[in-house]
Each structure stands twice: as structure tokens, then as C-alpha cells.
Amino acid sequence: MSREQPIIWRSPKGEVIACVEKNKVMAENLDEIRQVCQDALEDAVLMGCDEHQVRQVLIELIGELVNPYPTQA
């Protein structure tokens, strides 16, 4: 389960992040997140939880993430 085309990452100013290593790290991070979320969904469904509720909780969890770095002007 992976994207067919890579994501074009952009800076807050809209500039393309072209660094190969940065893009590699982002792809690896997304793969790890996808697998952890998939595992959590499968565990929840096997334990009898409602799939739609689990998906909603995961969405809310992402929305609650905090950026620890001050916004760059």
C-alpha cells in the first residue's frame, strides 16, 4: 500500500524541497506511520472496535499534533 507518485514537499513559502535526503526521510517516516496506523486499525477491528470510530480517532490524533518549532517569518 504505497503512493504511485512521490509527494512534492514544499516549504511554507511554497518552494520545492529538492534535497534527496530530506525527501527520503519524509518517505520513510510516512511508511512507518502508515504501518503503525495499519497495525492499530487491524488490532482494533480484531478486538471488536468499530472501524469508522478508529479511523476518526486517528484523524483527530493527527489534528492534535503540536509543532514545537516557532513559525519562521
pTM score, two decimals? 0.82
Per the CB < 8 A criterion, the answer to whether 6 and 20 are in contact is no
Residue 40's CB is within 10 A of a number of other CB atoms, namely 15
- Residue-wise pLDDT for 47-71, tens only, equals 999 999 999 999 999 999 999 998 7
How distant, in Å, are the alpha carbons of 28, 48, 62, 64, 70 from that of 58? 19, 17, 6, 10, 25
Instruction: Of 61, 37, 64, 63, give the one whose Cα is nearest residue 51.
Output: 37
- C-alpha grid cell, residue 22: 530530506
- Residue-wise pLDDT for 20-54, tens only, equals 999 999 999 999 999 999 999 999 999 999 999 99
3 state SS of 5: coil
